[in-house]
Structure 1
């Protein structure tokens, strides 16, 4: 008899937890997002007590800007986050930003998890979307590295240490140079350093310090002067390529 009395509260707690789970799942199927509103939204309630999420500014505008920047693929995702955090509104951590970029809520969808015999799927939410589904899918391609995001000249963009990667040819064999970092132990210090090089394939063996080469390239570029008309035309071309 004592065991029955002791187990009754536990059974009651399990029943309440199960009812809560089914209630939240039913609300999701109706297109209502439950729980704490994600970044860019705020929790609100209708007069009948039903909860919903509404757009919160300026965070919503910040995230729209971030989605568009990540979709371009011109700079690393975390650099976009750092720039976004400089704007008005609350900031985001690296992990929170990464989750936000993969959250389908922002394109108006709600994810329904698989349960028993029911498979997982997405439904249209009743909340206002911040971005289009097309933009969201573009960001997923960039985040998942399912395709290479290329800039002018079909050159893969990304690492700011190697702006000339894909544009240089090896003086020994004539093939395109790639770039990477190598970790080596200093004779003076006990910790490790990274050394960055433009280099050819391993059979050729050619390599050159990336910092020195970047500096030499910048020095030569500074010597050039453009005709004012050409300068305006070049500016227009660059703006068109990086919109």
Structure 2
């Protein structure tokens, strides 16, 4: 899990890609829901949630066990998972479907979270690709339209003659 938190904090791979790599590496079969719950578990950074009791407020307290990761690393991963941080992506090849090349680079116009993408299978068995938000705002748009619009914008750009390419 320490490796998973470190990889997640880099912002290069999605949680599902990290889970797949971890499953292959360790020969395990962790389900995505359990993996995402683990990434949200503050026990890894040495915090335990204490319920409201005898008029005292519910709160997180420092545990007696040694934390597996730092509190800063935990908070960074939470921000990335919430879509509040768009980390600088290092020069590393990001695993992505060819039909969804902009996945993880677009921001939802409704709520501001990062947009992901996935395929839906139609009744005929064909796959239809969409970019969508994971937050409750339910933004969803066909990937063909967004990809073609992005290419259209890129093709409309022109470089000034005064700029030299080295």
TM-score for the superposition, normalised by structure 1: 0.42
RMSD of aligned alpha carbons: 3.6
How many angstroms does 1:93 deviate by? 1.6
Rounded to whole Å, the distance in 2 between the matches of 1:97 and 1:181 is 19
Match of 1:199 in 2: 148
Say if 1:190 and 1:140 are closer, same or farther in 2 by CA, change over 3 A. Answer: same
Question: 8 Å contact 2:12–2:90 — kept in the other structure?
Answer: no
Tell me if the contact between 2:48 and 2:60 (Cα under 8 Å) persists in the aligned partners: yes
Please give the alpha-carbon distance, in whole angstroms, between the structure 1 residues aligned to 2:62 and 2:119: 48
Distance in structure 2 (CA, Å) of the matches to 1:65 and 1:102: 15
1:70/1:139 contact within 8 Å kept: yes
Residue 97 in structure 1 maps to residue 26 in structure 2: no
Q: Which residue of 1 aligns with 2:46?
A: 108
Residue 115 of structure 1 and its aligned partner are, at CA, apart by 3.9
Give the Å deviation of 1:150.
3.2
1:78-227 equivalences under 5 Å are 78-88=16-26, 90-115=28-53, 117-151=55-89, 159-161=96-98, 162-163=100-101, 190-191=124-125, 193-195=127-129, 196-197=143-144, 198-200=147-149
Where do 5+ consecutive residues of structure 1 fail to align? 1-62, 168-178, 208-243
- How far apart, in 1, do the equivalents of 2:35 and 2:87 lie? 20
Cα distance between partner residues in 2 of 1:166 and 1:75: 9
Which residue of structure 1 lines up, in the alignment, with residue 112 of structure 2?
A: none
Three-state SS of the structure 2 residue aligned to 1:199 is: helix
Matched positions, count: 124
Larger Rg: 1
Shift of 1:116: 6.0
Cα distance change of structure 1 residues 109 and 149 upon mapping to structure 2, 3 Å threshold: same
Q: SS at the partner of 1:135? A: helix
SS of residue paired to 2:127: strand
1:75 deviates by 1.2
Shift in alpha-carbon separation, 1:91–1:184, aligned structure 2, 3 A: closer
Structure 1 Cα separation of the partners of residues 101 and 33 of structure 2: 27
2:9 aligns to what? 71
Structure with greater proportional helix content: 1
Secondary structure of the residue aligned to 1:92 is coil
Q: TM-score, normalised by structure 2?
A: 0.59
Q: CA deviation at 1:66?
A: 0.4
Cα deviation 1:100-119 (Å, max 9, x = unaligned): 10111111111112346332
